Amino acid sequence: MNTLAKLRLHDLAPPQDDFLGAVLDGLGRPHKSLPCKFFYDEAGSALFDAICDTPEYYPTRTEIDILAAAAGEIADLAGRGGALVEYGSGSSRKTRLLLDALAPTVYMPIDISREHMLSACHTLAADYPALHLMAVCADYTRPLRLPTVARGGQRRLAFFPGSSIGNFAPLEALRFLKNVAQHLAADDGLLIGVDLKKDPAILNAAYNDAAGVTAAFNRNLLTRCNRELGADFDLDAFTHKAFYNQAAGRIEMHLESTREQAVHVGGRRFTFARGETIHTENSYKYQPDEFRHLATQAGFEPLRTWTDAQHLFGVLYLRRR
Ligand SMILES: C[S@@+](CC[C@H](N)C(=O)[O-])C[C@H]1O[C@@H](n2cnc3c(N)ncnc32)[C@H](O)[C@@H]1O
């Protein structure tokens, strides 16, 4: 069978001037920042996969273990068949557990990193020949119209793993969850992975792995600015900095300037003091109750929360009301 006949791409990728605009805006702010969605060019996506395999980065293996143990129950709640829609699908590694348990007819991965997503889809198409793959390259932080899928009376399960919800500040997370709710009908489900509040030492280690993979991931953003926007960042003059901000309940990731310097991008000049940072990512952590409250405000009913023995990570099944 020609498996590729079952793969369609809906390309809603943001234009390149989106990146330039975001960089000029972010570097022009009093506290310089860049949106974390720009981490994910092909090199960034590969580096994220490598982060998942570092011993310090517990979220991936913990979430996989939770999903593997709960897969049957998830299928009972979500219903078998139907469509599986995944936000930020990356390598679709965790997805396989759901494809095996739910046997959906359609899988719709949504990701901003087109080539990486398509490569994952080609492998899935070979491994699941009966599955219809409708890949969507898009920025999910923006209002998004998904391609129409005939429901045939079957339910849709939205999947948002990887604790990517933590990249949004709580109010943005609420807005995102409301957008997801609009992609669903009453009784459809959202399965979401949430990183839990815990001993800051565990969190700090997870974002500062000894092999320096997270540092390389963070600095790749500057490589991308140089390559795609003709910027002149000196990569040796910025270091990775990540720490848990207890008051805000989030990991913050920054790139710190090691000296006073100027950088040019898109015809503009940006100056940096020694020690000044570009804030590149937040990763908010939640107590299960805090997250259930947020989900309820967004129009979902939390039906089930699974966690690991050490309460490091939570996976929640939310029913769209
Ligand atoms: C933290 S990784 C998680 C990957 C995978 N879901 C997992 O759990 O291991 C985030 C994924 O979301 C994608 N992504 C990040 N921001 C995005 C955005 N604004 N719109 C669409 N995809 C995005 C990235 O390309 C990446 O594949």
Residue 33 lies in a domain: no
Q: Which domain holds residue 269?
A: 211-284
Residues 229 and 272 in one domain: yes
Residues 191 and 63 in one domain: yes
In this structure, are 107 and 79 located in the same domain?
yes
Distance of CA 271 from the midpoint of ligand 1 (Å): 31
Residue nearest to atom 14 of ligand 1 (CA): 88
Cα of 86 from ligand 1 centre, angstroms: 10
Dihedral over alpha carbons 246, 252, 257, 260 (to 10 degrees): -60
Say if residue 106 is in the same domain as residue 239.
no
Tens digit of each residue's pLDDT, the chain (321 residues):
555 669 999 999 988 889 999 999 999 999 999 999 999 999 999 999 999 999 999 999 999 999 999 999 999 999 999 999 999 999 999 999 999 999 999 999 999 999 999 999 999 999 999 999 999 999 999 999 999 887 777 899 999 999 999 999 999 999 999 999 999 999 999 999 999 999 999 999 999 999 999 999 999 999 999 999 999 999 999 999 999 999 999 999 999 999 999 999 999 999 999 999 999 999 999 999 999 999 999 999 999 999 999 999 999 999 999
Q: Are residues 176 and 269 in the same domain?
A: no
* Residue 34 included in any domain: no
Closest ligand 1 atom number to CA of residue 40: 25
Query: Same domain, yes or no, for 307 and 175?
Result: yes
Cα distance between residue 287 and residue 86, in whole Å: 23
> Within 13 A of 20's CA, how many CA atoms are on the CB side?
13
Q: State the Cα–Cα distance between residues 84 and 132, nearest whole angstrom.
A: 10
Q: How far is the CA of 153 from the centre of ligand 1 (A)?
A: 29
Which residue has its alpha carbon closest to ligand 1 atom 7?
Answer: 162
Instruction: Identify whether residues 266 and 163 lie together within a single domain.
Output: no
Comparing CA positions, the residue from 268, 314, 279, 319 lying closest to residue 296 is: 319
Q: What is the pLDDT of residues 133-168, one digit of tens each?
A: 999 999 999 999 999 887 777 899 999 999 999 999
| Chain segment 186-209, per-residue pLDDT in tens | 999 999 999 999 999 999 999 999
Instruction: Please give the sequence-ordered ranges of beta strands (E in DSSP) within the chain, or none if there are none.
Output: 7-11, 83-87, 106-111, 132-137, 156-160, 189-195, 238-245, 250-257, 261-265, 268-272, 277-284, 300-307, 313-320
Q: Please tell me the distance between residue 152's alpha carbon and the centre of ligand 1 in angstroms.
A: 29
Q: Kindly list the protein residues whose Cβ atom lies closer than 6 A to any atom of ligand 1.
A: 37, 40, 45, 48, 52, 60, 88-90, 94, 110-113, 139-141, 161-162, 164
Pocket test for ligand 1, best of 94, 164, 313 (most atoms within 8 A of CB): 164
Instruction: Tell whether 258 and 164 lie within a shared domain.
Output: no
Pair 279, 290 in one domain: no
For residue 298, the 8-state DSSP code is T
Looking at the chain, the number of H-run helices and the number of E-run strands are: 9, 13
CA 260–ligand 1 middle distance (angstroms): 33
Indicate which atom in ligand 1 lies nearest the CA of residue 161: 8
Ligand 1 centre and the CA of 240: distance in Å?
Answer: 20
On whether both 61 and 187 belong to a single domain, the answer is yes
Residue nearest to atom 9 of ligand 1 (CA): 162
Helices 95-102 and 114-127, axial angle in degrees (round to 10): 40
CA 298 distance to own-chain centroid: 19
- What does the pLDDT read at residue 4? 65
C-alpha of residue 96 to centroid of ligand 1, in Å: 16
* Residue 87 domain flag: yes
Whether residue 246 sits in one domain with residue 257? yes
pTM: 0.98
Residue 162 belongs to a domain: yes
Could you give the number of structural domains in the chain?
A: 2
Inside any domain, residue 41: no
Instruction: For residue 24, tell me if it sits in a domain.
Output: no
* Probe target for ligand 1 pocket from 60, 85, 140, with the most ligand atoms within 8 Å of CB: 140
- Which CATH number characterizes residue 67's domain? 3.40.50.150
In a domain, residue 179? The reply is yes
Place of tokens 């491994």: 127
Same-domain check for residues 162 and 231: no
146 CA from centroid of ligand 1 (Å):
17
